[in-house]
Every structure is written in C-alpha cells, then in structure tokens.
Amino acid sequence: MLLAGRAALAAGEEERVYFLRTLEDPSVAAGCPPGDTVRLGALVFAPRGSDGLVLAEDTDRPVGTAVGCGRLLTRTPFDTGVQNPFAMKFDLEDGTITATGTCTVTSLTFPVPDVPAPLLLLGCALHVNEDPSAGILDGAATSASVFAPASLPGYRTGSYWTIHLYVNGSFDRRRPAGDGRGSGRGGRAP
C-alpha cells in the first residue's frame, strides 16, 4: 500500500489517483531521444464504467496527450524476463506528469494469419518524477499495455494506466485561469 509509512499527509498535500486509457494516434508527435526504438504518441482518455466493472470503449473527448519513449531490448523470441527502459509524459488537463521506469513483455501472440508481426502484451512500472515547481511530490504509474511493432489489422496499440500521485495545492492551479484545462474540467489538452 502506497500510504504505508506515512502517518498522515503533510499540510497542503493531496493524494490523487488517475485511471486513464492511452490510444496511439498519429496526430501526437512522439519526440523521443535518439536511440529510442519505441516511440509512441497517444491521445489520453478517462474511461467511465458503463456496467459494473466493464469500461466504456471510448469517451467523448480526449483529456490530454501522452508520449512514450523507450528501448525494446529483446527481440523475437521476446524474453519476458527483460526489463525494457521506458518513459512517459502525460499532458493532462490537471498538469504535466512525467515518469520513468521499465516495461516487461508478459506475453506475445501472432493473431493475424499469414502476418509475421507479433502482438505484445506488456506491464509497465514507472516512478513519477518529482517536480515541486509543478506541485508533484511523488508517485507511481503502472500500465497494462498492448504494443504491435508492426501494423496489425484490427488491433489498437495503447494502455490502461493507473497513476498514483502525491501533490500539493499548486498541481492543477498552474494553468492560467480560463484556458479550459485546469482542475480537470474544460477543453482538450494540446
């Protein structure tokens, strides 16, 4: 449990948990460092429950964008024991969150007959980078992800993310008033 070892939140601190879905989208440029072999630009959605624990397929509008950069250190046959370095930047309505860590291939399949490209399922565990000037004090981001190194008809690349943050009061107040992006309400993030 993340709260273990913390008797109480310090004055002005808040705990925030986000459940997000990213879907790879070519409209989001993935500006990654040289040498990165995984470059993902995605739209971010906030899924809603539609019936019990089943999530609605898509929401009406994105709540931000995300860029993922990393290196896939294992090749066919993909080794599920290899920790692949990965970083994410979420530009959300509440603010920008960056995180770094690793992703591990949990399984792979070749779902399209006569197409030699695999569909990879991965799990990521990232540490949210502290950014006191943005109000981010600590956090973790985890994912259940789908990745296809080559295009696979009928399959979408994306992830379900849980982001657990400790923030101070300036986290969602740094956006200018009236820009439609503060406090989780309003317009689409760039």
Full DSSP string of 59-91 = -SS--EEEEEEE-----SSPPTT--EEEEEEEE
Report the Cα 86 to chain-centroid distance in Å: 11
- Note the pTM of the prediction, 2 decimals: 0.80
Q: Which two tokens stand for residue 104?
A: 């591990």
Whole-angstrom distance, CA of residue 45 vs CA of residue 30? 18
Residue 131's pLDDT is: 92
pLDDT score of 172 more than 80: no
DSSP 8-state code for residue 35: T
Residue 65 contacts residue 42 (beta carbons within 8 Å): yes
Per-residue pLDDT tens digits for 56-110: 555 568 999 999 999 988 776 778 888 999 999 999 988 899 999 999 999 888 8
160 closest CA partner among 133, 113, 122? 122
Q: In which residue are the tokens 């000037």 written?
A: 133
pLDDT score of 179 more than 90: no
- Which residues are registered as beta bridge partners of 168? 13
Whole-angstrom distance, CA of residue 186 vs CA of residue 164? 22
> CB 49: neighbour CB atoms within 10 A?
10
Question: Per-domain residue ranges for the chain?
Answer: 13-178
45 closest CA partner among 29, 66, 22? 22
